Structure formats: structure tokens, C-alpha cells
Amino acid sequence: MGRALEEESDVRAGFARMLREAATSYTDPDHPAGCLVITAATNYSAQTADVERDLRERRAANVRDFEERLTDARKAGTLPEGVEPRALAVYFAAAVQGMSQQARDGASTAELQRVAELAMAVWPVHQA
């Protein structure tokens, strides 16, 4: 995810690429479906609480990275005033996490690509 956000100069293009790449990687038949960081700690016990904490922190770090990128975009004027970077970051994290679960439940690449398109439909635009 980070690579897409770093390599794309346009923040919107980075998030769109991140979602498209998630759709492809989460459904790659050569790997387990979904994302280990997202799904590995859904069932844990006291003995594995450290693993659950580590995975939660990784997911939280993703949200912070998203928020930072979105905050920078707002400062640069590529996001409209009034957009809450934190809310948009949490939204995209939820989209990615949901795509991971859908892949585990058998969603196809094409289905997840459509989810990625729909997720991008909420991208805030400047009002004329």
C-alpha cells in the first residue's frame, strides 16, 4: 500500500492505485486470500495478545500514513478545504480491510476492482 502512495505524485492516483493493487494481490491464487495483517488477529487468546497488539499497531500505522498523505495533499491544495484527512484515512482503511475479508470469502479480482472504483467515487472534489 505504501509504495502506491509514495510512487504516485497525485494523492488521488495513489489511493486509486492502492485499491486496485489490493484487489489483485488479495485474490492472487498463488497466495492465501486477503491480507495477513488484516485477518490474522481476528481470533486471539491471552497467549497471543502480543501478536494481536502488533497487528493492530500495523493497521493503525496504515491509517496514520493515509492521514499524513491526505493532510499533505490538503496543505498543497489538492484536497478541498473542509475535508477531514482523518475521516478519509479511516474510510480508505475500512475499504481495504473490507476488500481483504471479501477476498477471503471468495470475491473475485473483478469484484474487488469494482469495489475499488466505488470506493474512489467518494473522493472529494473542489467546488467551482
The CB-based long-range contact list for 111-119 (8 Å cut-off, 24+ gap) reads 112/22, 112/23, 112/26, 112/27, 113/20, 113/23, 113/24, 115/19, 115/23, 116/16, 116/19, 116/20, 116/22, 116/23, 119/19, 119/91, 119/92, 119/95
Q: Using pLDDT thresholds of 50, 70 and 90, give the confidence band for residue 72.
A: very high
**pLDDT tens digits, one per residue of 32-56:** 666 555 555 566 666 667 777 777 7
Going by pLDDT thresholds of 50, 70 and 90, the confidence category of residue 90 is very high
Q: Which pLDDT belongs to residue 69?
A: 95
At residue 117 the predicted structure's pLDDT band, cuts being 50, 70 and 90, is very high
CATH hierarchy code of domain 2-120: 1.10.357.10
